[in-house]
Chains A and B, each alone.
Chain A
Amino acid sequence: MSEKNVLLKIRGLKIQGYSDETWVDIIKGVDLTLHRGEVMGLIGESGAGKSTIGAGAMGYARDGTRISEGSIEFDGMELTTASESEKRALRGARIAYVAQSAAASFNPAHKIIDQHTEAPLQYRLKKRMEAQEDAIDLYNRLRLPNPEEIGFRYPHQVSGGQLQRAMTAMAMSCRPDLIIFDEPTTALDVTTQIEVLAAIRDIVEQFNTAALYITHDLAVVAQMADTIKVLLKGNEVEEAPTEEMLSNPKEDYTKSLWAVRSFESPQRYRPKDSTPLIAVKNVDAAYTGGPKILDDVSFDIYEGMTVAVVGESGSGKSTTARVITGLLPQSKGDVLFKGEPFPPDYRNRNKDQLRQSQMIYQMADTALNPKVKISEIIGRPAQFYSGLTGVELKNRVDELLDLIELDPSLYYNRYPPELSGGQKQRIGIARALAANPTFIVCDEVTSALDQLVAEGILRLLDRLQNELNLAYMFITHDLATVRSIADEVIVMQQGKVVEQGPKDDMFTPPHHPYTDLLLSSVPEMDPNWLTTLLEERGVDNVGDAASAKITDS
């Protein structure tokens, strides 16, 4: 491609962030060249500076950060020295931004189409009627259901995947030269993710728009990008065309990213003639005044085994966990623990029953009290259930910290906000272990973590299971996680168990059509995966549409 075609040219970009009273480099001199119509994927773990570069490409530095060095040239215009009003004229009109959470980015008080037409009206590119017609045309191209009518709804009246597509349409409203996608599908289920990916790829091709695609999911970026740039801690690791990057990565760090999903624990089978540790029998549950969330759910969990519960969001996975832990008493059916019924409400359970089942949460940030020291977070359950005090308690905490591979002398007196995401999740695990449980509910414990860190957590959980003979109920929507840790799999859809069995059976056909849909929706590293899938199934047979068909039949 010739020099003339260059749209965005970043040279030696350094961005600093303010922390602990000094300015620290977040981006340490990154070069980037993006041609017209090219899609570049930016990948790296969290803290690598992907989003900061994305914002920097618009000449924007978030609060508490500043662009300290380097140049950002957009279509021949230098953004680092441009005035605020010059930059404002570009944003929305020539550079658009699609954020991770569409639900949080739309203003809930205005109709979607009014927000859509705001930018073209503001820049006087179109009259209101034209802009609305154009919006409907874009909704059509993005294959939103009822394109004529959907724009006139409020953001809370459409689903997450549709909202994300509406946001992409909004970014397109001024036909920008460059769109920055900041993790647009990370918050979505695999089934919904596909339709958003297909829609984004389609529309970017149709209008020949250049894009920066920011994500931490390698398989996703393989579908979307022409070139991939790998970032690590504010530095560029390497950049190459997608095919080459996937088949022949040069740097060790990139290879480690590619190799990550190798962990697989050996399959365990149910012990014969023994009572299950937890037995859920024909359970129905609903929130007060709401519709039925769980419908006749039954399954068993045996001692020392991992049962993975999969399904898209809203399928009742977490609700099942809440019923077992007693947070949501069931309206019908029983939960048996070693053959004895568990009181439905946790308030009626005694200390020993509470001790037996513990929980590890998805968001370690909200699961650990930020104002309490690690020693107390882990020590409290031990003190509460076993009555340990003084030196005994300290020894127990040290033992637990050793168990989760953190150095007691370093972490004993620290507070949760001082730890990284993976370390926090380990503390969450230690808190659960402190109670000496036999059963632990793991609610999406790895989905907020980077792949490398997540794998560390999975290995740790597997090791602990072997050492302490724990049973896990592993809630996840990520089938790769299931493959690596589960012994048995339960597939849930709309509050019902649609399929259950040992892991080996689950990954070999034949399947229930819904399981099939889930399995086929997991992105693969092959860059042609999405194209092939769309050819096989047809555009109307992926995502929500397909899921709805299964429910109807």
Chain B
Amino acid sequence: MELTTSQFVIGYYTFLLGVSCFGAYTNKRQVFMLAFSLTLVSFVLGIVGGAAALKAIAICAGMLAIAGMISFGFREFLIQIAEGDFGAGIRNSGSSSVVTLILVAACIVSGVMGWGFTEILIAITILFVVITSLNPETAKELRTAPLTAAFGMFVIFTYAVAGIFAPWIAPFGEAEVISSAFAPPDENMLLGADQLGRDMFSRIVYGSRNSVGLAITATVAAFILGAGAGLLAATKGGWFDQFMGRFADVIMSIPSLIFALLMLSIFGPTTPVIICAVAIIYAPRVFRLTRAVAGNVVVMDYIEAAKLRGEGMWYLIRREILPNSTAPLVAEFGLEFCFVFLLVAGLSFLGLGIQPPTADWGSMVRENATLISFGDITPLIPAAAIALLTVAVNFVVDWMLFRSSGLKEQ
């Protein structure tokens, strides 16, 4: 049944007024204020923009509601899994048996599905890690997660699936020319074609693998370098601490983009060089944070007790210092990941990042940039993909920071 314009407008106002009356009657102050102020705004917008404006509002509200419902559902889903404590069995069995289990599972699944073994292996490993970390303790913490954090987790989950299974999700190959340049969307191509006639949607899906994968690897490398040096510096102290600190200062004093451009022009824009350059640029920040956090831990009495016991440096770092500095480090990981991601996208945009024909969101923005002058939004789609991921990661990180800061909600 097609709704006429007048029916839609009448239904729209009836719904809003109904909600505000309900809010007022049940003393839900926030619901009432939201619904009624929206009614008043709609009066003005309806006069200015007609029924189309009201429809836009309705669509926005609907999308927000769907995002909210998805987040709520996803959080409940995680809580249920956590409360079920499926990971208990994995935690209790030895590491060798878990590795065999993962390998066997990956073999079976890839045999049955006919999909690549590596992808399945990565997916199953991630699944195992996630399930192991979901225990009743985490369920309690997940309950405190705001909807934004749940939304962020859901987005990250979607990107991970898209990235890992890109070859089976994307309808075409990332370098496959299938149509004329800048062809509009049709039933074959969800988002149209790019400047060479390649399917935009397929390239976005592949891009999540290439861009995100590169950013994650570079961030992990930066953390291994920075956190390792920071922990050592905090534990050893003395001249080693001083030396590492000044060395980090030197690296930090060089503008990051210039440094990356320099490295890439000297060694050529290959993936290992990008990873190394980015890791070196971001390691000093991680070093500073780790050293500060670990510096507060090493003065504790339990560290003194362990030293007096005669424990070695490795035990001190691994069992005493690291467990007490993970919370801020994990939060920092999320933040750094966003910076790294944006830097890699920026390098690609400048033409020094991941090289064509490999799909990468940053270079996709640049390649299709001319379309902007024709009022087409195609170049904004990879940009939106970058934005959505960084926002999602920040939502999750905000929640973690809130938790690690020890604040309690009122």
0/1 interface trace, chain A 361-384, chain B, CB 8 Å (1 if under)? 101001111111000100011001
B374-410 contacts to A, CB under 8 A, are: 407-410
Chain B residues contacting A66 (CB-CB under 8 Å) are 410
In the complex, the answer to whether B309 meets A369 with C-beta atoms within 8 Å is no
In the complex, the answer to whether A359 meets B323 with C-beta atoms within 8 Å is no
The 5 A-B residue pairs with the shortest CB-CB distance in the complex, in nearest-first order: A371-B323, A367-B301, A64-B408, A369-B302, A361-B301
A157-185 contacts to B, CB under 8 A, are: none
A-B contact pairs, 23 of them (CB 8 A): A18-B408, A63-B407, A63-B408, A66-B410, A327-B308, A346-B310, A349-B310, A354-B308, A354-B309, A359-B305, A361-B305, A363-B301, A366-B302, A367-B300, A367-B301, A369-B300, A369-B323, A371-B323, A372-B319, A380-B309, A381-B309, A431-B305, A435-B309
Q: How close is A368's CB to chain B, nearest CB, in angstroms? A: 6
B303-341 contacts to A, CB under 8 A, are: 304-305, 307-311, 319-320, 323-324
Separation of A366 and B407 alpha carbons in the complex (Å): 20
Chain A residues contacting B409 (CB-CB under 8 Å) are 18
Decide yes or no whether A234 CB sits under 8 A from chain B: no
Chain B residues contacting A385 (CB-CB under 8 Å) are 309
**A346 with B308, Cβ < 8 A, contacts A361-B301, A367-B301, A370-B324 known:** yes
Decide yes or no whether A273 CB sits under 8 A from chain B: no
Chain A residues contacting B304 (CB-CB under 8 Å) are 327, 359
A: which residues have CB within 8 A of B? 18, 20-21, 63-64, 66, 325-327, 346, 349, 351, 354, 358-359, 361, 363, 366-372, 376, 380-381, 384-385, 431, 435
Decide yes or no whether B236 CB sits under 8 A from chain A: no
Separation of A381 and B308 alpha carbons in the complex (Å): 11
In the complex, the answer to whether A368 meets B309 with C-beta atoms within 8 Å is no
Q: How close is B380's CB to chain A, nearest CB, in angstroms? A: 42
The tally of residues in B whose CB lies under 8 Å from a CB in A reads 21
Separation of A18 and B140 alpha carbons in the complex (Å): 14
B: which residues have CB within 8 A of A? 140, 143-144, 300-302, 304-305, 307-311, 319-320, 323-324, 407-410
Separation of A28 and B140 alpha carbons in the complex (Å): 27
Chain A residues contacting B311 (CB-CB under 8 Å) are 384
Chain B residues contacting A381 (CB-CB under 8 Å) are 309
Chain B residues contacting A18 (CB-CB under 8 Å) are 408-410
Chain A residues contacting B310 (CB-CB under 8 Å) are 346, 349, 351, 354, 384
Separation of A20 and B302 alpha carbons in the complex (Å): 27
Chain B residues contacting A370 (CB-CB under 8 Å) are 324
Separation of A540 and B324 alpha carbons in the complex (Å): 49
**A371 with B324, Cβ < 8 A, contacts A18-B408, A384-B311 known:** yes
Q: How close is A397's CB to chain B, nearest CB, in angstroms? A: 16
In the complex, the answer to whether B410 meets A384 with C-beta atoms within 8 Å is no
Separation of A366 and B408 alpha carbons in the complex (Å): 22
In the complex, the answer to whether A21 meets B143 with C-beta atoms within 8 Å is yes
In the complex, the answer to whether A369 meets B308 with C-beta atoms within 8 Å is no
Q: How close is B108's CB to chain A, nearest CB, in angstroms? A: 34
Chain B residues contacting A384 (CB-CB under 8 Å) are 309-311
In the complex, the answer to whether A366 meets B307 with C-beta atoms within 8 Å is no
In the complex, the answer to whether A21 meets B319 with C-beta atoms within 8 Å is no
